[in-house]
Structures are given as C-alpha cells and as structure tokens.
C-alpha cells in the first residue's frame, strides 16, 4: 500500500491514531532514512549513514539530530513542565524560576555582596544556597586556625576592627613577640617583647618619642615590685611653659637618685647649674634644718639660725684648705665689686675688700693674723688700714694716711701716751726743717715730753686757770 494511503487511514483530525496502526509495520526507504511506525513498538526515524536528520515543522529547520545530540536551532526552544526534567535517574524538582545559571562568558562586574545574598555551594553532594553572611563568619573563623607563616605581600597591610580588641598572643612557653623591619637595606629587629622575662621590652633604636592626644602632658609611670601598689611618675612640662630641655641621668660610678619634693632626700657630689630660689625661699642646712640661707627679695641673702634658745647666733666662717700657712698668706676674704659697670676698666675692678692675712708662719703655738681693710681709688683695692693680732689699728704704709680730715675731724681722742714722729718723712717740719721723735706722757700733776732720739726728758709748764 502506498505510504500516503497508510498515513491517510491512520490520521483523524490531524492526529495519528495508534489503534489504527496496530499490527502495522512498514519500512520505507527515503534517501537512506528509515521510518518505522509500529503500534507495538517505539516510533523511530533512522539514517543509514552518519548524516544529520532534520525534523521540519511548518517548513522550518527547527530541530536537528547529529551524532546522538539533539539541538534546538535558532528561534526554537524546548519547553519542559515543572518536575518534568530527569537527568539519568534523578528528577530535577526545581521550578523554572529557581534555575538561573550565569553564562561562563558573562562579563565579571564589581557588584557589592551583601550579607543577605545567596551563594550556591555543594553540601555533601547536594546543591544548596547559603547566605553570604554565613560564609563571612566561616572565613573569619578560618583565620583563627593555625598558621606558621603569612605570605609576604607587596603592599601595605591593615589590621582593623570596628569593635573589640586586637590581640597578638605568642602562646608558646617563653616565646617572644618580635617586630622587625629593614633599615639601610639590612634586616633589623626594632623591638622585642621578651616572653621569658615576663614581658620586658627591648628597643633597638634607643629613642622613644612619647607623644599624646593633646588632652594631657605625656608621662611615664614606674611601679613598685609589690602588686604595682605605688608608682613614681615622670611628667613632661605643660605647653604653657614653652619649654624644650633635656633631663640627663647621672653617668659616673655608683647609684644615683632623682630627688622628690615629697620627702627628704640626700644630694651628694652633684653640680647644680643656675639653681633658682624664689623670693623668700631658702636653703636649709643641718640635720635639724636649723640654719637657713634665705632669699631677701630685691636685696640679697639672709643667714638665719632658726633656734630660739640663747646663744644661737648666725656665724659665717671663711676657711682655707691650705695645710702650711706662711707669712702674708690670706686665710679668707670678702670682696666688693661692680663687674657690670658700663664704663669698664678701673670701674669693674674689686673696689673694696676685707681680708685676714697671716703675720708669720703658723705653728702649734702661733696663728698671728691681721685683718686688713682694703679700698681702691683708681686701682684694684689695696690694704690701707690693719688691725693687728695685738689689737693695734695701724696704717699699712708709713706717713701716708690721715686720721680724719680738715672738715671731718674726730671729736675727741682718748689715748694713753701720745707719740709724735716725722722721722720717716723725706723732709722735716715746716719751721726749721728738722725731724724729731717725741712721746708725751701723763704725770699726776704734770705732762712730760720725751725726746726719743736724745733721751732727754722735759716737763710742760702748766698754768692753772
């Protein structure tokens, strides 16, 4: 029977009836393509060679079978109902709205990932979608796992947290925390926190530049050994003092201590450069602080013995350290000077002084000393008057100085013997030019005069009035 007649008998209203094709089998050779229609078997279209087979619907090349591959051509599609797709023996239960894969050739963008975004992953053979927040937590926990080394990068590294602490914990016994860098091309250890010494800090650079947040001056606290119960604090100067200076620690032999204002401290063999004692301030001397050197504002210094008992005067003693005092050695001296006088020259020399000078060699039984009063005219001060060890007031040069002046006379002179002599003068008296040496002495009723050159004695003629 012709193929067209067979198909005509089998199609009713455009539908091929399987019942009418029952027990019917036909093989038709169409240019090497075998068409088998069998009501009891599968319907197949088979090509004798490896050529492709096109199925044409409405005259278009919509589908193609080539080498066991079914291809929907451009403009065509395959529609599968929900739950109607099976891979192998496993049915795909997802709906069409749940299946959305990105083409591998799609452009990669920079769209931000939020905590609520889903990420597809394989969970033990089952594909699941999990939030990005869950992955973030997992990856952060992963950073807490053991690491022996972090790979060296080529850019800056920041470690930051918006809350909580950042802890660097060297958990091995007696292990150190070491900070290293490169200086001048050399690998250098800058800082070591010594775990075997309880956290002692060692700095290689040797310079600490301690700054602050601007709310308080910088400070360093040094705590005691007993539970950090007490501390000494080293505090910088406040901004109002406009001070930039240096505190240098002692550098020669033995232990040294910084002084504190809170308690009594001993200062031994230390040089104080330009110390400042405020107005009415003082330096105390003695175990009981009984002697004070007090600043007298705008005047000078006061030496005061603070004890209130009798016989507690203030004593200023000038001592020399010489071990062999000879004649004319000065034991001590007080000088008066105006070194800042603008005219200079003689004006800035020592203009007056008082000094103690030995009269001879000192011994176990001798310490004869004169006290000299020194003044200057147009010179450094020189001795003019001397109080000798015997108590005599004598000029330091013969026939050179007057006792009183023509306008400033002594009112009364109370004396014992009166000695008159011009023997050391270059010329004699103004009457006959001669020289003499006389002594006037007192008698009970008379005054006597003795010529010390000839030894002759005379009596004054006295007239009672």
Nearest Cα neighbor of 329 from 340, 341, 321, 337 is: 321
CB 35 within 8 A of CB 51: no
What confidence category does residue 61 fall into, taking pLDDT thresholds of 50, 70 and 90? Answer: low
- Mean pLDDT across 255-262: 70
- Mean pLDDT across 131-155: 76
- Mean pLDDT across 110-129: 87
Q: Compute φ and ψ for 187, nearest 5 degrees.
A: -70, 120
Q: How far is Cα 24 from Cα 38, in angstroms, rounded to an integer?
A: 6
- Mean pLDDT across 169-179: 92
Nearest Cα neighbor of 119 from 132, 107, 108, 104 is: 132
- Mean pLDDT across 335-362: 95
Q: Is the pLDDT of residue 148 over 90?
A: no
- Mean pLDDT across 149-164: 86
- Beginning with the edge strand found earlier in the chain, give each strand of the sheet holding 33-38 in spatial order: 25-30, 33-38, 44-47
Q: Is the pLDDT of residue 442 over 90?
A: yes
331-341 tens-digit pLDDT:
999 999 999 99
Q: Is the pLDDT of residue 136 over 70?
A: yes
* Residue-level pLDDT at 336: 95
Look up residue 216 and give its DSSP letter: S
**Among 93-107, 132-146, 164-178, 244-258, whose mean pLDDT is lowest?**
93-107
Q: Is the pLDDT of residue 101 over 60?
A: no
Q: Is the pLDDT of residue 459 over 90?
A: yes
* Residue-level pLDDT at 24: 44
- Using DSSP bridges, classify how beta strands 53-57 and 60-66 pair: parallel, antiparallel or unpaired: antiparallel
Q: What is the DSSP string of 40-88?
A: TS--EEEESSS--EEEEETTEEEEEEETTEEEEPTT------TT-EEET
Q: Is the pLDDT of residue 56 over 70?
A: no
Residues 6+ apart with CB under 8 A from 300: none
376-406 tens-digit pLDDT:
988 899 999 999 999 999 999 988 889 899 9
- Using DSSP bridges, classify how beta strands 118-123 and 126-131 pair: parallel, antiparallel or unpaired: antiparallel
Q: Which of the pair, 105 or 88, is modelled with greater confidence?
A: 88
Residue with the two structure tokens 């290689």? 204
Q: Is the pLDDT of residue 189 over 90?
A: yes
Q: Which helix (H) or strand (E) holds 283?
A: strand 282-285
Residue 129, helix vs strand vs coil: strand
- Mean pLDDT across 222-249: 88
* Residue-level pLDDT at 45: 58
Q: How far is Cα 165 from Cα 75, in angstroms, rounded to an integer?
A: 61
CB 65 within 8 A of CB 56: no
Q: How far is Cα 131 from Cα 387, in angstroms, rounded to an integer?
A: 111
395-398-399 Cα angle (round to 5): 100
- Using DSSP bridges, classify how beta strands 69-72 and 85-87 pair: parallel, antiparallel or unpaired: unpaired
196-225 tens-digit pLDDT:
998 999 998 888 898 888 888 999 999 999
105-106-110 Cα angle (round to 5): 135
**Among 53-67, 160-174, 178-192, whose mean pLDDT is lowest?**
53-67
How much is the mean pLDDT over the chain?
Answer: 83
Residue 459, helix vs strand vs coil: strand
Q: How far is Cα 166 from Cα 159, in angstroms, rounded to an integer?
A: 8
Q: Where are the beta strands (DSSP E) in 132-228?
A: 177-183, 186-194, 200-203, 219-223
Q: Compute φ and ψ for 441, nearest 5 degrees.
A: -125, 160
CB 140 within 8 A of CB 159: no
What confidence category does residue 456 fall into, taking pLDDT thresholds of 50, 70 and 90? Answer: very high
Residue 332, helix vs strand vs coil: strand
Q: Is the pLDDT of residue 294 over 90?
A: yes
Q: Which helix (H) or strand (E) holds 184?
A: none
What confidence category does residue 195 fall into, taking pLDDT thresholds of 50, 70 and 90? Answer: very high
Q: How far is Cα 177 from Cα 199, in angstroms, rounded to an integer?
A: 9
Q: How far is Cα 46 from Cα 30, in angstroms, rounded to an integer?
A: 10
Nearest Cα neighbor of 347 from 337, 357, 355, 360 is: 337
Strand partners, 26: 37
Q: Where are the beta strands (DSSP E) in 144-275?
A: 177-183, 186-194, 200-203, 219-223, 231-235
Residue with the two structure tokens 């620690």? 249
- All structural domains of the chain with their residue ranges: 3-74, 276-316, 321-402, 415-465
- Mean pLDDT across 348-365: 96
- Using DSSP bridges, classify how beta strands 418-421 and 393-395 pair: parallel, antiparallel or unpaired: unpaired
Residues 6+ apart with CB under 8 A from 144: none
């Amino acid at each position: 029977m012709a193929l067209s007649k067979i198909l005509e008998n089998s199609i009713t209203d455009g539908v091929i009836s399987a019942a009418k094709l029952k027990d019917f089998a036909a093989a038709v050779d169409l240019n090497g393509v075998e068409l088998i229609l069998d009501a009891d078997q599968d319907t197949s279209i088979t090509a004798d060679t490896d050529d492709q087979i096109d199925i044409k619907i409405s005259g278009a090349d919509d589908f193609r079978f080539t080498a066991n591959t079914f291809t929907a051509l451009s403009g065509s599609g395959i529609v599968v109902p929900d739950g109607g797709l099976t891979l192998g023996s496993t049915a795909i239960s997802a709906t069409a709205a749940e299946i959305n894969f990105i083409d591998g050739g799609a452009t990669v963008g920079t769209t931000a990932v939020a905590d609520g975004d889903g990420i597809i992953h394989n969970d033990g053979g089952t594909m699941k979608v999990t939030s990005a927040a869950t992955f973030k937590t997992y990856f952060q926990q992963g950073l807490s796992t053991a690491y022996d080394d972090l790979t060296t990068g080529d850019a800056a590294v920041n470690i930051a947290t918006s809350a909580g602490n950042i802890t660097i914990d060297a958990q091995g016994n007696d292990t150190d925390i070491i900070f290293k860098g490169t200086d001048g091309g050399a690998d250098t250890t800058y800082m070591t926190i010594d775990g075997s010494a309880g956290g002692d800090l060692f700095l290689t650079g040797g310079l600490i530049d301690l700054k602050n947040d601007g709310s308080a001056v910088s400070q360093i606290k040094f705590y005691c050994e007993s539970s950090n119960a007490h501390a000494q604090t080293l505090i910088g100067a406040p901004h109002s003092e406009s001070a930039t200076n240096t505190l240098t620690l002692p550098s020669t032999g033995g232990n040294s201590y910084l002084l504190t204002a809170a308690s009594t401290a001993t200062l031994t063999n230390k040089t104080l450069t330009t110390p400042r004692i405020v107005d009415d301030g003082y330096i105390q001397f003695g175990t009981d602080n009984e002697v004070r050197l007090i600043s007298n504002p705008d005047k000078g210094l006061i030496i005061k013995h603070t004890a209130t008992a009798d016989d507690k005067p203030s004593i200023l003693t000038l001592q020399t350290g010489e071990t062999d005092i000879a004649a004319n050695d000065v034991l001590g001296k007080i000088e008066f000077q105006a070194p800042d006088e603008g005219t200079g020259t003689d004006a800035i020399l020592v203009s007056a002084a008082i000094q103690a000078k030995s009269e001879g060699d000192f011994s176990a039984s001798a310490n004869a000393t004169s006290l000299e009063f020194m003044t200057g005219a147009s010179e450094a001060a020189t001795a003019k008057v001397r109080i000798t060890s015997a108590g005599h007031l004598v000029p330091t040069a013969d026939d050179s100085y007057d006792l009183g002046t023509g306008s400033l006379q002594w009112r009364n002179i109370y004396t014992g013997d009166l000695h008159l002599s011009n023997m050391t003068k270059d010329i004699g008296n103004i009457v006959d030019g001669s020289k003499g040496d006389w002594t006037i002495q007192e008698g009970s009723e008379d005054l006597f005069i003795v010529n010390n050159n000839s030894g002759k004695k005379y009596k004054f003629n006295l007239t009672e009035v």
